[in-house]
Structure formats: structure tokens, C-alpha cells
């Protein structure tokens, strides 16, 4: 019996250590993407940006990007860069974190292959711009001015 319990706890320790290593590697990847430690990386922009929706996972404030301790968990806001150049943006409701409070559809265009321009359709002018820091088929990192946000893919939400 003692041998079985010892084996179980040893195995559980290995599993937890493996999960800890995976979590550390994930945090390192997010940190490197947000701080552009390896330079800007954009792969297959048109395909990857609109492949499926993105959910905010982590962020860093612009002035405090010194270590992985500066990486914060993001509110899981929803960004869907649709191929028709419309961004569907759903922001979590502060009073009900299980639901969305604000739901917007905003025209956008890509400028210079690495900047997303958000367009005010009434004035037909650029209202905001976000720089793409990292993009591949799984991850997106944006510099949104005061913060940098790391995203992962999520399911389409109606």
C-alpha cells in the first residue's frame, strides 16, 4: 500500500511539474511576443488574422515590460477580424463577467503589412491604430498604445 501511494505521489509530482514547465514556457512565449524580444514576427497575415476569432489572454502595460512578473491576465474580450474588413469586438461586461456588455462592428484595414487601422465609418477617417507585434496561426500580439495584448484563438460567438 505504501509503495502504491509513493508511486502515485511521485507520478502526480511529475505531472504537476510538467504542467508547471508548460505554463512557464507559455508565459515566456507571451512575454517575448509582447516585448518583441525576437523582433516583429508576422506569418501569413491575411490568412491568420481572419482565420477565426481571437480572445485576449494576457497584457502588459507599455511602461512596465521588464520581466515576466509584469505580465497580467487579460479580460477575455473577443476580437474577430473578418475577411470583409470588419472587426467584431465584444467586450466583457464589468457587472457580469460571464457575458458581453459592448458589441461593436468596426471597419478596419491593414496598413503596411503590420498596422491595423480602425476606421470611423461616419467620418471615413482613422480613429485608432494597433501595431501587430506577433502573428502566427495560433497567436496574436498587438501594441494598442498604452497596453500590449496577447491573444489566442477562440470559437465564433454569436
Backbone phi, psi, residue 82, to 5°: -80, 155
pLDDT tops 60 at residue 17: no
Domain extent, residue 135, equals 35-153
Identify the CA nearest to 34 among candidates 138, 115, 142, 145: 142
The closest alpha carbon to 142, from 111, 114, 100, belongs to 114
pLDDT, tens digit, 9 for 90 and up, residues 103-138: 899 999 999 999 999 999 999 999 999 999 999 999
pTM for the full predicted model: 0.82
- Cell readout for 72 is 497580467
**Distance between CA 157 and CA 153 in Å, rounded?**
12
Residue 14 lies inside a defined structural domain of this protein: no
User: How confident is the model over 11-35, as a mean pLDDT?
Assistant: 73
The answer to whether residue 128 is domain-embedded is: yes
**What do you get for the CA distance between the two ends of the chain, in Å?**
53
pLDDT band at 158 (very low <50, low <70, confident <90, very high): confident
Residue 133 domain-assigned (yes or no):
yes
The count of domains in the chain is 1
Instruction: Say whether pLDDT at 96 is over 50.
Output: yes
pLDDT given at position 2: 44
What is the C-alpha to C-alpha distance for residues 141 and 27, in angstroms, rounded to an integer? Answer: 13
pLDDT digits (tens, 9 = 90+) for 45-93: 999 999 999 999 999 998 887 788 899 999 889 999 999 999 999 998 8
Query: Measured between alpha carbons, how far is 37 from 98 in angstroms, rounded to an integer?
Result: 34
Amino acid at each position: 500500500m505504501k509503495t502504491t501511494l509513493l508511486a502515485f505521489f511521485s507520478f502526480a509530482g511529475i505531472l504537476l511539474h510538467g504542467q508547471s514547465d508548460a505554463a512557464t514556457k507559455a508565459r515566456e512565449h507571451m512575454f517575448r511576443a509582447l516585448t518583441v524580444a525576437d523582433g516583429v514576427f508576422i506569418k501569413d497575415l491575411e490568412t491568420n488574422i481572419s482565420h477565426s476569432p481571437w480572445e485576449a489572454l494576457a497584457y502588459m502595460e507599455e511602461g512596465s515590460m521588464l520581466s515576466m512578473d509584469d505580465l497580467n491576465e487579460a479580460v477575455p474580450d473577443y476580437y474577430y477580424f473578418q475577411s470583409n474588413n470588419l472587426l467584431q469586438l465584444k467586450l466583457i461586461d464589468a457587472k457580469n463577467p460571464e457575458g458581453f456588455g459592448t458589441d461593436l462592428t468596426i471597419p478596419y484595414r491593414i496598413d503596411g503589412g503590420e498596422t491595423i487601422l480602425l476606421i470611423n465609418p461616419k467620418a471615413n477617417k482613422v480613429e485608432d491604430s494597433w501595431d501587430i507585434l506577433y502573428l502566427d496561426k495560433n497567436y496574436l500580439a498587438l501594441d494598442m498604445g498604452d497596453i500590449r495584448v496577447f491573444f489566442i484563438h477562440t470559437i465564433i460567438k454569436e
